[in-house]
């Protein structure tokens, strides 16, 4: 099945419903080729992605592999205005520690969220808002297709 800009101009509810239909078709064994400018849509629906730039394939593979191949670190954030962040320096995978007012940010690699959560629980300071931010396919698409001026 070939689909070109399938959900362009759909409202969010119709878009999600359409995504569910495409998943059902795919899960029954039908090959679906999806042409999309919406990178989030490709990340949600596609087993494999080809990023085209200037008529050439700039990257190809699973969305996860494209993100991982191009590198980048995860960021774990939570709020604790009174925590001495120096106590988190030796959390496995941490490369940088930052404080933004009451918010603490750890930047690094590997299972950073799990290690940070375990450390905070062991310290008796489990935060309610512990969250991770990882690079996305959108980030990588911009990195692959943006001009050098755009990336400054």
Q: What is the pLDDT along the chain (152 residues), one digit of tens a residue?
A: 899 998 989 999 999 999 999 999 999 999 999 998 888 888 888 899 999 999 999 999 998 888 887 777 889 999 999 999 999 999 999 999 999 999 999 999 889 999 999 999 999 999 999 999 988 888 888 888 885 444 44
Strand partners, 96: 107
pTM of the model: 0.64
Residue whose tokens read 């087993």: 47
**Could you give all domains of the chain from N- to C-terminal order, each with its CATH number?**
2-69 (3.40.50.300), 74-133 (3.30.70.980)
Instruction: State whether residue 59 is helix, strand or coil.
Output: strand
Q: What is the C-alpha separation between 112 and 120, in angstroms, rounded?
A: 12
- Cβ pair 7, 41 in contact under 8 A: yes
d(CA 67, CA 62): 9
- For residue 140, give the 3-state DSSP assignment: helix
């Amino acid at each position: 099945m070939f689909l070109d800009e399938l959900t362009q101009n759909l409202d969010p509810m119709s878009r999600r419903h359409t995504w569910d239909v495409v998943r059902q078709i795919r899960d029954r064994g039908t090959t679906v080729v999806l042409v999309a400018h919406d990178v989030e849509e490709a990340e949600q629906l596609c087993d494999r992605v080809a990023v085209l730039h200037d008529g050439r394939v700039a990257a190809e593979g699973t969305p996860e592999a494209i993100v991982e191949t191009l590198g980048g670190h995860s960021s774990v954030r939570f709020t604790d205005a009174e925590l001495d962040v120096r106590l988190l320096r030796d959390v496995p995978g941490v490369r940088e520690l930052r404080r933004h007012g009451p918010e603490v940010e750890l930047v690094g690699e590997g299972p950073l969220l799990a290690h940070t959560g375990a450390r905070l629980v062991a310290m008796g300071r489990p935060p309610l808002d512990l969250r991770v931010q990882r690079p996305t396919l959108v980030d990588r698409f911009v990195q692959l297709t943006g001009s050098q001026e755009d990336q400054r």
